[in-house]
Chains A and B, each alone.
Chain A
Amino acid sequence: MLLIACPWCGPRDEAEFHYGGQAHVAHPDDPAALSDEEWARYLFFRDNPKGLFAERWSHAAGCRRWFNAVRDTATNEIHAVYRVGEPRPVNS
C-alpha cells in the first residue's frame, strides 16, 4: 500500500485515496468547436506510460481535496505531489 503525501494533510495510507486517472486533461472550453476526433480524444484517449505519469488523486477519506501526483508506474515511487492549478513540477 502506497504512502501518499496529500499536499493538504501529509502522508496517509493509499486506502484513504481515490484514484482519478491522468492529470492535466482539461474539459475543453468549447466542446462544440471540436471535431468528433478531437472530442473522442478528450473522452477516450489516455496515456499509459511505463515511467513517470502525472495523475489525479482525491483524498476521499480525508480532506476530500483533489490533487496531482507524479508517480513512476514501474516502481510506484511518487516523485512529486502538487495542488490543483499548480503546474507539474519540472524534472518529475
Chain B
Amino acid sequence: MSTQPYRREGVTGRVLRFRFDGRDLEGLAGDTLASALLAGGVRAVATSVRLGRPRGVYAAGCEEPNAVVQIEEPFPEPMLTATTVELYDGLVATGLAGRGRLADRPDPARYDAVHAHCDVLVVGAGPAGIAAARVAARAGARVILADERPEPGGSLLGTTETVDGGPGRAWAAAEVDALAALPETRVLRRTTVIGHYDDNYIVAVERRTNHLGAAAPPGVARERVWRIRAKRVVLATGGHERFVAFAGNDLPGVMLAGAARTYVNQYGVLPGRRAVVFTTNDTAYAAALDLADAGIEIAAVADVRREPGRMWAARCAERGIEVLTGHVVTAAKGEGEVTGAEIAPRTGGRAREVAADLLLVSGGWTPVVHLFSQAGGTLRYDEGLGAFTPGETRQAAEAAGFAAGVTTLRACLADGAEAGRRALAALGFGAPGVTVPVVEEEPAAAPAEHLWLVESGDYGTHFVDLQRDVTVAEVLRATGAGLTSVEHVKRYTTAGTAHDQGKTSGQLTGGVVAHALGVDVAALGTTTFRAPYTPVSFAALAGRDRGPLHDPVRTTPMHEWHVARGALFENVGQWKRPWYYPGLGEDPGEDMEDAVLRECAAVREGAGAMDASTLGKIDVVGPDAGVFLDRLYTNMMSTLKVGSIRYGVMCRPDGMVFDDGTAIRLADDHYLVTTTTGNAAAVLDWMEEWLQTEWPDLRVRCTSVTEQWATVALAGPRSREVLAALAPGLAVGKDDFPFMTWRDAEVAGIDARVCRISFSGELAYEINVSSWHGLALWEAVMASGEVTPYGTETMHVLRAEKGYPIVGQDTDGTVTPQDLGMEWIVSKKKADFVGRRSYARADTSRPDRRHLVGLLPEDPGVLLPEGAHLVSVSAAASVPSSVASAALPAVPPVLPVPALGFVTSSYRSAALGRTFALALVSGGRGRVGERLYAPVGDDLVPVTVTSHVLYDPEGARRDG
C-alpha cells in the first residue's frame, strides 16, 4: 500500500521521510508537515486544549487554529502550526494539546538581526504585492518585498488562475525572480512581518534554515529579525477564510474550503475522497470544482443563499454536482472524524445526512488588517465582505489588494499597481511605464450572505475559537452575563487569545456576539490587533544578545589578578567587582563567612587593599565649576581648597538622597567628583541635564573619566607604612598628609594621585593611577607582603560598622540626608541648592520619618535577612501565641500590625564579635535602646535599636 494514499495522481517529487506521533511517514519536497500528514491519511493531528477533542488540519497557512505541533528532532521547538512547517528529511514531530515543551538543552543555532531602510516596503508577495513592488522597483526606488512563504504568489499558489496567459504561480515566480535581480530591490522569502509600529518601523522575522532540518549549514543564522524603517509601506497581506459555527464544526475532516483547494492545487494532496461543501459565498464553488477535477467526489454543495453566482451553478450542473440553495449544514457527523454532514433547509424542515469524509466550509473571507491596525489605522465595516477593512492611517502606509477589500484577481493586480504608483508619487519618483498583467475577465460574484452560526437548541459544539475550545454556548454565557463589548467577551471566554490570535475566529466571534446582542456587527467593532502577527521565538528576538553578549561586561585593569586568585565576583551594574577571596588565608577551604571575617580583621588590624576602580569619576571643569557643584550638592564645594577633598551628598528637588561621593579640588577651575559605582552614568546625566536645561549660563563641562583611572583603596592601621615604602618621596606623616587631602606622588614608580579618604573608619588611602598602570600598582601593593586583598562584601561590612550608608541599599529614594543622621552635610549657609526647599516641607520634618539606625539582634549569632520588617512590642503581642518566640508581653493583640521599618544591611562583624544590622525605622533615633521584633519565617527575632555608628564612634582610628 502506498505510503501517501491521499497524494493526487501523477504528482511526484523527492521523497522525504519523517515521523509523526511515532508513525513513520513519507512526503514530497515542497510539502508542509500538514500537507504530508494529509497525504498520509492522518486526520487527527492534535488534541484540543480544554475538551481533549481530536482536531485535524483546518487551514493551509499561518491562520491554522488546530494543527499545533511540537518538533522533537532535530531540535525541540514547541507550538508550531503544521501548516507552516516545511517538511524535511528526518523531521520528528508530535501533535500537541495546546501546550508545548521548551527544549531541555541549549539551542545550538545562531540567531541574528539586520537593520534596513527602504523607500517602499511591500508586505506580501501575492498578486497585489507583486504588482506594487514591480511598479515601485522599476522606477528605481529601494524596495523590500517580504513574504512569509517559501514561494511567492500568495493566493495564486492555491488556485488555477492564469496571469498573462500562463499559470499564476509561474507568473509570480518569474516576476519575483526579476525583482530580486534588480540592484535596489531585496526580496525576503520566508519572512513574516510581525509588527508595524510608529513612523513605519517594521519588524520582520526571516526563517533562513528552519526548513533544512539537520542539513542546515552551521555558519548560517537560523532566523534573523529584520528591523526596517520604510518611507512608504504597502500592506498586501491578503485575507483569511473564516468558518461558520455549526454542531461538530471541529471534527477532523472539517476544513476551510480555500485550504482544501490549496492542498489540491499547490501540494497535490487530496484532503478527502468525498466532500460536502457548506458556503455563504461564491468562493467555495471554485474550490469544489478544483476538487472535483482532482477526483474528489462532491456529494453536495449547501449554500445558505437562495441565489448563488449563476456561472457557478451552471458549472456544478455540468459536473452533476448537487447544489442545495437555502440550505445549511446543521452538524458534522462522525466519531473522531467526519463521516457525513447533516444538511437542512435554512428555514427549518427535514434534515438529511449525506455521507462524506470531508466537509468544506466557507463563511467568507476576512482581510488581514492586523498590521494596518497595529500601526494605529482605523477600520471600517465592509457590508459586502462581512468584515472590517482599512480606513484611515497616519502612517505613510496603505493596504492593497484583498487586504484593502478588493476581491477579484484582476482588480487586485490593478490595485497593487496603483498603490505602487501612489508610493512613488509620494516619494517624488516619476511613474514608470509598466504593463498591467492580463487576466481573464471574471464574472461578477453574487453577494455573500453573512451567516455566523447555524441556529440550534444546543450550542455546546458550535465552536468559534477552535484552539481555545470556545463555543457559541460560551459566548452566549458571556453576553448573558452582561458583557456587551467584544474586548470583554474575548477576556471572559479567551476567544482569540491563542497562538493564532483569532485569525479565523475573530470576525466570527464578533458576528456571534452581535447576533446574540441583536446589534450591528459594524457597530460592535473588533478587538485590538497587537504585534506579533504570528508567534516569534525568544531566541530570534534575543539574536546575538545571549550569554556573554547579553549585556556589556565591564572589568577593571586588575581583573585578571582577581580571577587568578580565585576571587568570586559581584555584579554592580555592568561591572564585575571582586566580592571576596576565599582560600587566601590559612584555610584554603574557607567559606564566604570565614573569608569575609578574615578580610575584615585584616583591615581593622593590619592593612587591606580593594580594587576601587569602578567608582564613578567625573571631571568637572570650568570657571563656574564651584558654583555648579554648590547648586548640586547639599554642602559647600566652592570653598574647598585646592589639594583638599570633601564628602558630598546630592539630592533630588524633592530633597531625597540621589547619590553621594567625594569632590577633589584639583585646581581653581577643576574638580574631580566620584559617584557610586552603579550611579555613575545617572550622575553625569543629572549634571548635564541641569547645565543644559536650567543653568546654560554656567561655564562648566563634565566628562566621564571612570575608565581612565584605576584606584586601589589601601586601608588599615598599617596602611601608612605600606604606602611609605611604596612612595619614598611622599611625606606620609599625619600632619604632612592630613585626612581629606590629596597629593601627587610617585607610587611604585608610577605617577599617582593619592587621596587620604576612608570608607572603613580606618586610616586609609586611595591611590589613583592611569588605568594602564592599574595592574602594576596593584601587584606592587600586593608584593609588599603586608596587605590582604579584600572584596566588596568586606567593604560593606566595614562601612556598615561605621554607619556609612550605601545609596540604593540603605536608601530607596524616600530618604533625606537628615533621615540618615547627616544633618551636618546640609548647608545652612547656601541660599539654595537642589532639594533645599523641600527640607522646609512639613513632610520632611515629621517626627515619625524613618531614620537610619543600628540593630543588635539579642542573640548575637542571629543574622537578620536584609529586607526583614520590624514591628514594635505591642504589635508583636498581636501575633498568635502559637508563634514560638522570646518572651512576649501579654498585651491584647492589636491588628493590623504596623510595620515600623525594615532591615537595609545585615552582617557578621569581626570587630564587634557578633551580628548587627542597619535599618530604616520610623522615629528610629528616638527608639535607641528599644526592643523591636523582626518577623522571620515563623519566628519573631528580638532586636535592640542602637545608634547607626557601632564601631569607633569617636573616630579615633582615622589617623592610624
Contact = CB atoms under 8 A, between A and B. Distances in A.
A and B bind: yes
Given A1-B197, A3-B199, A43-B838, 7 more contacts: A36-B841, A39-B838, A40-B841, A64-B688, A65-B692, A76-B376, A84-B692
A66 B689 contact: yes
B653 A36 contact: no
A2 B197 CA distance: 8
Contacts of A3: 198-201, 229
A85 interface: yes
Contact of B685 (A13, A26, A60, A76): A60
A39 B832 contact: no
A48 B840 CA distance: 28
Contact of A84 (B685, B696, B842): B696
11 contacts: A3-B201, A13-B201, A14-B198, A32-B831, A43-B654, A65-B692, A66-B688, A76-B376, A84-B692, A84-B696, A85-B696
Contacts of B376: 75-76
Interface in A58-79: 58, 60, 64-66, 75-77
Nearest to B836: A31
A2 B199 contact: yes
Smallest CB-CB A-B distances: 10 pairs: A31-B837, A3-B199, A1-B201, A66-B692, A76-B198, A2-B198, A27-B694, A66-B693, A43-B654, A39-B837
B694 A26 contact: yes
Interface in B638-693: 653-654, 685, 688-689, 692-693
Interface string B809-833: 0000000000000000000000110
A18 interface: yes
B530 interface: no
A41 B229 CA distance: 40
Nearest to A2: B198
Contact of B832 (A18, A32, A56, A76): A32
A77 B685 CA distance: 27
Nearest to A25: B693
Contacts of A34: 837
Given A36-B841, A76-B198, A77-B394, A31 B832 contact: yes
A30 B720 CA distance: 48
A43 B196 CA distance: 37
Nearest to A66: B692
Nearest to A26: B694
Nearest to A58: B689
Interface string A1-13: 1110000000001
A36 B696 CA distance: 27
A89 interface: no
Contacts of A58: 685, 689
Contacts of A31: 832, 836-837
B832 A42 contact: no
Interface string B200-216: 11000000000000000
Nearest to B691: A66
A41 to B, nearest CB: 12
Contacts of A26: 694
Nearest to A40: B841
A51 interface: no
B930 to A, nearest CB: 32
Nearest to B684: A64
Contact of B653 (A2, A30, A42): A42
Nearest to A36: B841
Given A36-B841, A76-B198, A18 B685 contact: yes
Contacts of A2: 198-199, 201
Nearest to B695: A27
Nearest to A27: B694
Contacts of A85: 696
